[in-house]
Amino acid sequence: MAARKVTYNIPGIGNLTANLFDYTQQVYDFLDHYGHILRFRTINQLGRLRDVYQGAHHNRYEYVFLQLSLISELCSNKKSELGLSGERRFCGKISDDGPYPSTGELLQCLVLLNNMGYLEGTFSTSRAWLSLLKENRDVFNFFKNGLDKDDWFRFEKCIDGYEYGKFNIFMALFQLQRYKRKGKNVVEFASSLLRKSLSSERSDIHLVQFKKLYSSIRQLSFITLDSLYAPVPFSLDLSSILLNFEELLESLFIKNTTYRIALGNLEQVLQDSVYMASDACINTGRASDEKITELRSQVERVNGITDLAKIVCPDQESGNFNLGVKELDWIREKKIIQEYRLTANDRDNLPYPLTDEVKWEIELKKRLGVSRSQVGILTNFKKSIVKLAIGLTTTDNAQSLRAALKVTNELIKFKDSMPQTPFNLDGKNEELLLSFLLKAIFGWEKKFILENKNRIDSAIFVSNGRVSTIEKIDKYMESARKYLNNDEIFEVEKTRDLVEHNNYSGLTIVFVGGTKLFDEGDNQGSAEYDGLIIHPTKDPREFFGYILEAKNYNNGATDAEQQLRERVEPHLIQPIECVINRLNNRAAYAEVKLQRP
């Protein structure tokens, strides 16, 4: 069968042409018959992240077509040493009397099949399905029995491990089984190819090279498209790549060159600033919550595999798609994100929140107050990075402070559930957490710099009780003496004295470094503080926060009191009130609480 030439204009890139080969045509037409090509054209490539990046309107068909075009270009390049025209037998063939597929045909087919399992909402929807299948045993069994028995073990592993990055493959396998009656040969070939893409087998060198090449093509495609539409300070010039394709061929697809390293770095930037940015995490959590609510309603009428198929298979008549954009309902200034790392050993024994992310998000929202927060927790596909983001939805200052204190308590408990690796203990999450709390006290438009001159130990301590807190401060002072001057050591000592004076046995956050407060638009700094103590679990109508000012000279407390009046009271948000007290003749402190109605 002659190759079918298809042309498509991708905005920002231009007209691209793809040659669809024999096997590709058969799979493409088969999927088109069941409405999957239409689904490609109507699903947003970034799924519900369209709510966050509203200009990023590229659809999944554009992503698919770009890959088909790149594979076509690779196959037509006569200087290529990739062996794309050679027959490959590891997936069988469609027709008994026909040829085996070439590597190029397998690559194009895998692009189509790997994407047919994404539903509207993409990853947020996959997460919702995983949580639904965990909580509803009947639906789990319907889905499992709708798969070929060869897929049962991997399917159960996917659900148990909450691998939403692989769930699209099982969704594709489930849908293919529904089409077996009218296209058995195509279904068996397509299913075999999807299974090979999941396999960790490394004995077949051709299969290993095939999967590596597919991964490179996929990476180049999503970086090109997503960097074009999403708010990142770079984009790939595909036209330049195609014009210099012969020269760049080995660098992009074969060898581990600086180009491959650069693409990996660009993918990391996209992950941090787009896919797993704070708003992206929160919105994914919100979208998954909405989707699982919808799915719970839908599966009430599901009594078997056929009913389940009606939910997931394309419905060409009704246009079963929701393409609207939902405005963000949290206040973007009132959010916090925390990042953690998992090792390979940790992934075999996931902390509870990661065993069912959507369920845990919903539980956390209930603890925080459903009407006051949105929550999102995401892992990358390798489950080596975890990001947890929370956004507050209330504009009321008092409610925001109460919510921020609750968020702080929950984030500290979350940290305790994470592996205690060096990355997770470096203090960066605590800095973000303390800044979040300070904004809730002084104003969300304010900015803070938390300065720590000690190069060995973090200046932020989170402890339960006075004794544990003081032990951490003492340890800090031992390592700090060669970095801090006498006045700075004195400020740490007075903060320690304030902890002793408070004699509080509950959760305590202490900062013994220098805090600089900046008003909006101010680059000079509006106030500085010598020490901070916050008790997040205290009733905020009681004194829960303390700001220290220390003066290392006799009767310095008088100057300290005056500075606190000038630097604390004017900056506090309403309705927080402040009382200033002497600690001793060289230090004073301001204690803050919510005014009672």
Taking the C-alpha atoms of residue 66 and residue 515, their distance in angstroms, rounded to an integer, is: 50
Q: pTM of the full predicted structure?
A: 0.94
Residue type, 253: F
CB-based contacts of 202, cutoff 8 Å, min separation 6: 208
Phi, psi for residue 596 in degrees, rounded to 5 = -80, 145
Element spanning 579, H or E: strand 576-584
pLDDT of residue 230: 79
Q: How far lies 29's CA from each of 37, 318, 331, in Å? A: 9, 21, 46
Residue type, 214: Y
> Are the C-beta atoms of residues 564 and 549 closer than 8 Å to each other?
yes
Taking the C-alpha atoms of residue 144 and residue 139, their distance in angstroms, rounded to an integer, is: 8
Residue type, 196: K
Q: How far lies 144's CA from each of 147, 175, 177, in Å? A: 5, 12, 11
pLDDT of residue 174: 98
Strand partners, 591: 546, 579
570 preceded by a cis bond (ω within 30 of 0):
no
Taking the C-alpha atoms of residue 532 and residue 547, their distance in angstroms, rounded to an integer, is: 5
User: How many C-beta neighbours within 10 Å does residue 544 have?
Assistant: 24
> Are the C-beta atoms of residues 567 and 542 closer than 8 Å to each other?
no
Instruction: Please state whether beta strands 385-392 and 447-451 pair in parallel, antiparallel, or not at all (unpaired).
Output: unpaired
- Grouped pLDDT means (10 residues each) for the chain, 597 residues: 90 91 97 96 93 89 96 80 80 90 96 96 96 98 98 97 96 97 95 95 85 91 88 75 66 72 88 95 98 97 96 67 81 96 86 96 96 96 94 96 98 92 82 97 96 95 95 96 96 98 96 95 89 98 98 96 96 96 97 92
